[in-house]
Amino acid sequence: MDSEDLRDYYKTGTTKEASWRVSQLKALRQLIEHNEHQIYTALMQDLGKHQVEAFRDEIGTLLKSLNSALDNLKHWMSPKKAKLPLIALLSSAEMVPQPLGVVLIISSWNFPIGLSLEPLIGAIAAGNCVVLKTSESAPASSALLANTIGKYIDNKAVRVVEGGAAAGERLLQQRWEKIFFTGSERVGRIVMAAAAKHLTPVTLELGGKCPAIVDSLPFSWDIEATAKRIVIGKFGNCAGQACIAIDYVLIEHRFIPTLVELMKKFIKEFFDRSSNQAKTMARIVNKQNFLRLKNLVDKPDVRASIIYGGSMDEDKLFVEPTILLNPPSDSEIMTDEIFGPLLPIIGLDRIEDSIDFINSKPKPLAVYAFTKDKAFQRRLVSETSSGSLTFNDAIIQYAADTLPFGGVGESGIGRYHGKFSFDTFSHEKAVLQRSFLVDFWFRYPPWNSHKLQLLREAYSLNYFQLVLTVLGLKKS
């Protein structure tokens, strides 16, 4: 598709109107409400997601985001007053948010509805025209969006493009005012290189190896809650196929047996395929990714580190929740993002060593730390770098649209969710108005030491000293 068609529509100014933005956000909410069961069906077909998981991670968060945008849009769109220095006396200034123009959103397959519509909410709220490229690896969800969005949303302003890598490459060759990409670091580099041709700004939501640190927890209910939350934070979000899923656990050697036994207990409780809960865990998205995961554990030295699970069913694209203890540090499972239900546990002599361990690797999208030690918490805040840091839980930061979601370094560029999505797709233009009544004569040449002193006072916001200097009551 040609982005110039959307650009012509954008020039009419329709999408800049508050009434248009509100109507489109309401229509998007209707799309989700009217097609909720079709969304469940599509997610089951693409990923084997249970209805409850689909609501928790996609439909529920989207409805919350839409309601928040509708409640706050007027405030988000309003100009913000800005303070000015003394040198700009009798002036006023404000920052006016404006839409960027025509933007491209490239979605991912692991949360194919949520990761398509969440950035779309921000782009529409900000008043842009949008091309949404859905993922070919989630064909049912992609088709559902392609067939329904045009029935609810202004199709002169929002278009859906399906297709594989070739379709994505054609889109990247065009000029956009913004590219928002969710996916792998490898493809993120391709997107960034293509954007450089037109100096297009990018938001890259990538991933990385997100660690969970488990400190000594004194009470049985603390360690039980930790084990439960790690199991869900790894295996209970699209079978670990999530950019913010726990990738590996760091823990002192002496606490490993207790944690492992509790994790086994909760894996059996949550994902026992012999019970009626057989469909509570998503499957691997396709054969390619199944074989990639299989290859990670097929090496003899890695397979020898498996202490729980390890079975796989290629026909059903199922990988059993699997725990590995101290796999080789140079193995792919410890160097590449896992993106599946395989969980290495790494033993440490001291939990404080986890800081150096994390800092020896590329910056992760998220760090999770299960600890009550306030001093250790402060060290993690100040001495590690990650897109987010969550204490005593996992994944829940994604649902908090009052917090920015995004990476740092190789885990991503930019941020979104809530007001941050609006900001991502907006340009905050500085607007200043100056009166003709007053002018500081000392801002103009020819220069001398007296004017230098006056400028010093003006820039230091020292109004009293400036007046004294102007009146000649203070020596320069």
Active site residues: 205, 243
- Let me know if 93 is exposed, middle or buried by CB neighbors in 10 A (0-12, 13-18, 19+): middle
Residue type, 6: L
Q: Scan for tokens 């001093």, then name that residue.
A: 375
- Strand 210-214: give its sheet, edge to edge: 306-308, 322-325, 342-348, 246-252, 210-214, 366-370, 388-391
For residue 360, report the phi and psi dihedrals to the nearest 5 degrees: -80, -5
- From CA 119, how far away is CA 370, in angstroms rounded? 30
CB count, 10 Å around CB of 77? 18
Contact 410, 363 (CB under 8 A): yes
Q: How far is CA 272 from CA 258, 266, 379, in A?
A: 21, 9, 38
Rg of the chain over CA atoms, in angstroms?
27
Contact 244, 395 (CB under 8 A): yes
Contact 28, 121 (CB under 8 A): yes
Q: Shortest CA distance to 37 belongs to which of 57, 64, 55?
A: 55
The structure tokens listed for 6 are: 């959307």
